[in-house]
Structure 1
Amino acid sequence: MNNYLIIYCHPWNGSFNHSVLQQIIANLKSHHQKFELIDLYKEHFDPAYDEEELRLFHEGKTHDPLVTKYLKMMQNADQVIFVTPIWWNGIPGMLKGFIDKVMKEGEGLSHIVTKTGIKGELTNIKKAYVFTSSTSPTLYYKYLAGNGIKKIFINQTLKQIGVKKARWINFGNMTHSKKEQREKYLNRIWKMNL
């Protein structure tokens, strides 16, 4: 049995992202998997640095109790599942702030900085899943809009904190999608072997 951590980033429980979250939870429960949930908006996570938080960054410290809690949850997870919309070709500011503040520099934290680059410390995470939705069709996003989720978030950010394997699953063309298409996507999530 794996220990999953779901990181959910959407402010509205009537969103399609919330339906995706519910389907992922149903999938994990049906397979008797252990999981924890971080709901960034519901938990009122503050994604912005203040002066004191930035001062503490290079010491691997924080004055935000949620930062300490979330990093510990990341350190205890075998698998991480992100559920987020794509806003303006990338992850929302809330999720970017989660990465900025929670990923602390220092041995035994999320990463260390070496002379040759960043070495990830979260090697306990064997796989990440990134579930997104976008107003643009997926092919447009991948081939014409820069593919920021794959190129930056997965291939750079997640790798730098130690996550070597990740899978991206996007539901594109959200604005013009039909109910049947959304249901088909949710059914795909239900059938996944996470």
Structure 2
Amino acid sequence: MYDHPYIHSFNHAVLEKVVTKLTQQGDSYDVIDLYQDGFNPAYDAEELRLFHRGQTHDPLVRQYLTQLKTADALIVITPIWWNDLPGMLKEFIDKVMKEGPELTHVVTKTGVQGTLTNIRKGYVLTTSTSPTFYLRWACGNAIKKVFIQTTLKQLGIRHVKWSNYGGITNSTAEKREGYLAKVSQMSF
């Protein structure tokens, strides 16, 4: 899943490295590109009414649900904006993650129980203006504590690794190339 509007961004370079690596490994994959797909993160009244029945009138939501239910891995490539996930990705979770045993989760007396257990491994590759240590220690580590250890875990995705390229605004071309080389060496 890719969440960045600008094709000349460093995030897009990360996406290209991931796609190249998956192709080299012989893995089949689908890219969910929220901006390129024209994903509309906003609810209308009908979408919200259907949500509580695990339904949607948005064809992209149906497509994304099918892709998620048949995937064995999830790779999320996104910037960190204001110390957290961008709104588009948050709204993807709000709008696409539908309640129902054949969908992404069920709600029980003890909380949310995820049904995306087909996704056996996950990777969250982020970039940020802030240094990674600042996100982890001064900002409460929202990506790891909320997104990975709570949201993804509640959806049934348990084994997730996070890699952040922090301090991107002041980084050098050489350091960015070094990070891209690291991405090329990851085993997805």
Query: What is the aligned partner in structure 1 of residue 101 from structure 2?
Result: 107
Moved over 2 A (4+): none
Given candidates 5, 26, 29, the residue that maps to 1:11 is 5
Given candidates 51, 55, 78, the residue that maps to 1:84 is 78
Query: What is the aligned partner in structure 2 of residue 55 from structure 1?
Result: 49
- What residue ranges of structure 1 are gaps of 5+ in the alignment? 1-6
Q: Residue 157 in 1 paired to residue 151 in 2? A: yes
Report SS of the residue matched to 1:80: strand
Q: Residue 93 in 1 paired to residue 67 in 2? A: no
Cα displacement string for residues 14-51 of structure 1 (whole angstroms, at most 9, x for unaligned residues): 10000000000111111111111111001110011111
Report SS of the residue matched to 1:99: helix
TM-score by length of structure 1 reads 0.96
Structure 1 position 143, deviation (Å): 0.7
State the distance in 2 between where 1:11 and 1:33 align. Answer: 26
Counterpart AA for 1:192? M
Map 1:29-40; keep pairs closer than 5 Å. 29-40=23-34
- What residue ranges of structure 2 are gaps of 5+ in the alignment? none
Counterpart AA for 2:12? H
State the distance in 2 between where 1:37 and 1:134 align. Answer: 22
Counterpart AA for 2:155? I
Structure 1 position 149, deviation (Å): 0.4
Query: What is the aligned partner in structure 2 of residue 124 from structure 1?
Result: 118
Query: What is the aligned partner in structure 2 of residue 188 from structure 1?
Result: 182
Q: How many residues align?
A: 188
Structure 1 position 108, deviation (Å): 1.1
TM-score by length of structure 2 reads 0.99
State the distance in 1 between where 2:106 and 2:112 align. Answer: 6
State the distance in 1 between where 2:60 and 2:76 align. Answer: 17
Report SS of the residue matched to 2:35: coil
